[in-house]
Amino acid sequence: MIDKRHLNNLSDIVGSENIYSDKAHLRAYSYDATRTYYEPDAVVFPRDEEDVSRILTYCNHNKISIIPRGAGSGFTGGALPVNGGIVLAMEKYMNKILEIDMENMLAIVQPAVINKDLQRHVEALGLFYPPDPASEEYSTLGGNVSENAGGMRAAKYGLTKDYVMALRAVLPNGDIIRAGKRTIKDVAGYNIAGILTASEGSLAVITEITLKLIPKPKYAKSYMGIFPNVEMAMNAVFKSLANGANPVAMEFLDSLVVKAVKEKLGIDLPKEAGALLIGDVDGNVAEEIEFQLKVLEESFRENGVQEFRVATDSKERDLIWKGRRGASQSITIYGTKKLNEDISVPRSMLPKALKDIYAIGEKYGLVVPCFGHAGDGNIHVNVMVDGSNSKELEKGHSAIKEIFELVVDLGGTLSGEHGIGLSKAEFMDIAFKPSELELFRAIKRAFDPNGILNPGKMGL
């Protein structure tokens, strides 16, 4: 527990109306999307960057843990106060779009701006911010940067890191730094903005973000490929890309997910549908769209597609995407709890990865429906268990460990977009050598020698 005098001193910094230690606030800031519970000692709402600096200066001097938090929508426990301390909640004040620079095609935002709000704002001006995590309607851009969020459009447009031009941030000792510039090219000094991106709030508190924008494409169409099995679908993914296709998204649903969305959502799909590939193509000329669809259809047919559909209007487009959007909630037919991991492998390894993942599920007697971003090799693996059965939960966690080992052996990674946080921290030694982990710890010590920022995360 933090001494009462510390709360009084922090109250002097931010005002009594911006610091809370009552049970309601503590409980509200004890969760994220993992539904794991860790209660902080207080919740503080900084009003601006100067508040953040003064709070960190004080807490660093008194060795009080600080946990930066955006929307709390993470899937790995990255914003949970595992050792108590202060939750630094950014959403109340630091939520403004500060500038849209049309000439230089960039946006400057505070960390609590909601991803989708920025997308809507810039698209109204004819510009485009592509990163679109599934949580885009409520996740914050500060959280997206901290986790290097991806999304369905990553196949063509990349991840959050590909759009971060510059950051303002506060170091644990209270120093305010600027990393990066508004310029397209900048090779002066270390890439500190790159180090802070995906650092999960463990190195500094981000207070301002400069993001690259691009022109909004004029045309877009959605497509669906229906395959008899997941192996044919996965072969179609990397072979169509090798043939010159460049889709915005190429999402997949395996047979288990297809069955679930048909049963749960009543989606009309052929009885023999064993796997789906769903996606979008876009461009600035109609001929470009037609070329992309032609390459996809030809590649899909070479790899056993049963049916290739293209939406002709927004209603058909919504129907095509309905199954993918409803995949996560639909698979609850297979168990009361899902151990959801977001592994990523080289695209050419997708067929083998899925075959071996299903074999691991069979070994433990567990159902493992899979869906996700096949266009960039990112698979959402869902080990389904009875959450009230401790033995089944134990089997589920053993299966997850074997899946991680498999993925790393295939040249993949533990996380494509959700980060490491708490839930994957114990598996870091599967993916990294001791010398690499020590390098991570050395970077952490260089930024945060007292270990006050988001302690207990990433296995550091």
Q: Model confidence over 274-310: pLDDT tens digits?
A: 999 999 999 999 999 999 999 999 999 999 999 999 9
Per residue in 397-425, pLDDT (tens digit) is: 999 999 999 999 999 999 999 999 999 99
Region for 408 from its dihedrals, namely left if φ exceeds 0, alpha if ψ lies in -120 to 50, beta otherwise: alpha
List, in sequence order, the alpha helices (H) in 164-229. 192-196
Q: What is 97-215's CATH number, 3.30.1370.60, 2.60.40.1220, 3.40.50.300, 3.30.465.10?
A: 3.30.465.10
Query: Can you give the pLDDT at residue 271?
Result: 73
The pLDDT of residue 270: 75
Sign, CA torsion 405/406/408/412: negative
> Using one digit for the tens of pLDDT, what is the confidence trace for 199-232?
999 999 999 999 999 999 999 999 999 999 999 9
pTM of the model as a whole: 0.95
* CA distances (Å), origin 99, targets 103, 118, 137, 173, 225: 12, 11, 21, 28, 41
Residue 349 tokens read as 């390894």
Confidence band, pLDDT 50/70/90 cuts, at residue 63: very high
pLDDT at 345 over 80: yes
pLDDT, one tens digit per residue, over 67-114 is: 999 999 999 999 999 999 999 999 999 999 999 999 999 999 999 999
Do the Cβ atoms of 276 and 323 come closer than 8 Å? yes
- For residue 267, what pLDDT band results from cuts at 50, 70 and 90? confident
pLDDT tens string 3-39: 999 999 999 999 999 999 999 999 999 999 888 999 9
Which CATH fold would you assign to the domain 4-89? 3.30.43
pLDDT value at position 268? 81
Spatial CB neighbours of 336, under 8 Å, sequence gap ≥ 6: 385, 386, 387, 388
Whether 377 and 345 have beta carbons less than 8 Å apart is answered as yes
User: How would residue 358 be classed by pLDDT, with cut points 50, 70 and 90?
Assistant: very high
Helix residue ranges per DSSP H, 15-110: 23-28, 49-61
Q: Above pLDDT 70, what percent of the chain?
A: 100
Q: CATH 3.30.43.10 spans which residues of the chain? A: 4-89
Query: Could you tell me the sign of the dihedral formed by the alpha carbons of 135, 146, 396, 402, in that order?
Result: positive
pLDDT digits (tens, 9 = 90+) for 184-208: 999 999 999 999 999 999 999 999 9
Q: Read off the tokens for 41.
A: 């000692």
The two tokens of residue 306 are 């049963």
pLDDT at 438 (0 to 100) = 97
Q: What is the largest CA-CA distance in the chain?
A: 71
Q: What is the pLDDT of residue 259?
A: 93
Kindly tell me if the per-residue pLDDT of 344 is higher than 90: yes
Residue limits of CATH 3.30.70.2190 in the chain: 219-328
pLDDT, residue 70, reads: 96
- Residue 366: closest CA among 342, 336, 343, 344: 336
What mean pLDDT value characterizes the chain? Answer: 96
| Distance, CA of 165 to CA of 179 (rounded, Å) | 9
CA pair distance 206, 53, nearest whole angstrom = 11
All CATH 3.30.465.10 domain ranges of the chain, comma separated, are 97-215
User: Would you identify the CATH topology of the domain 219-328?
Assistant: Alpha-Beta Plaits (3.30.70)
Q: What is the pLDDT of residue 423?
A: 93
Residues of the chain with CATH 3.30.70.2740: 335-431
CATH number of 335-431: 3.30.70.2740
Structure confidence at residue 1 (pLDDT):
82
- Lookup result for tokens 């510059």: 166
